[in-house]
Structure 1
Amino acid sequence: MADTTIEVADIEQLIKQAVELDELHVKFDGSQCVIIAVADIFGELSRVKKQQLIYAPLKDAINQGQIHAVSIKTFTTEQWQRDKMFNLPL
């Protein structure tokens, strides 16, 4: 396990620096990370590419053992407006 700990704000900053999003919701309990990302760019990407886009900025934290598991849900703004009641921010 890495000596440094990572916080929700750190995770949000890593993602926001790499990807322009309309909304980002992160829940992190010390090792398990749940991410909801909202941006219209997701409408143009395959499911794998969506995951890779959000996963990539977290790679170092994952490799260092700061994050052990990541669950990512992506939505376009239209999908989010329709589905957010079922995927309320954490």
Structure 2
Amino acid sequence: MTTVHQEHAEHATHHHGPDCGHDAVPHGDHVDYVHDGHLHREHEGHWDECEPAGHAVHEGHEHVHHDECGHAQVRHGDHVDYLHDGHRHAEHGDHWDDH
């Protein structure tokens, strides 16, 4: 799965970090920050939108996420992602996608 490189140009005044008040989501070799329903990542002196390109089914994900499943929830656009084992999972039809 690849990530689209799309600079978030309007994000010049706020600097994310451990005390910024936004949820931090470890993502591979960097940290995404949840802000206004989307995810930002620092990249070479600016902030990028951090959204996956394509559709990646999380194979073998038998756990069903819900409000009381114990995994952190992150509002993401028009749905909720669940943080589980270092991944963001989103319900998609009859399966879970790996973000």
Give the TM-score, by structure 1 length: 0.26
Bigger RCO (CA 8 Å, 6+ sep): 1
Q: Which of the pair is proportionally richer in helix?
A: 1
Give the TM-score, by structure 2 length: 0.25
The structure whose Rg is larger is 2
Q: Which of the pair is proportionally richer in strand?
A: 2
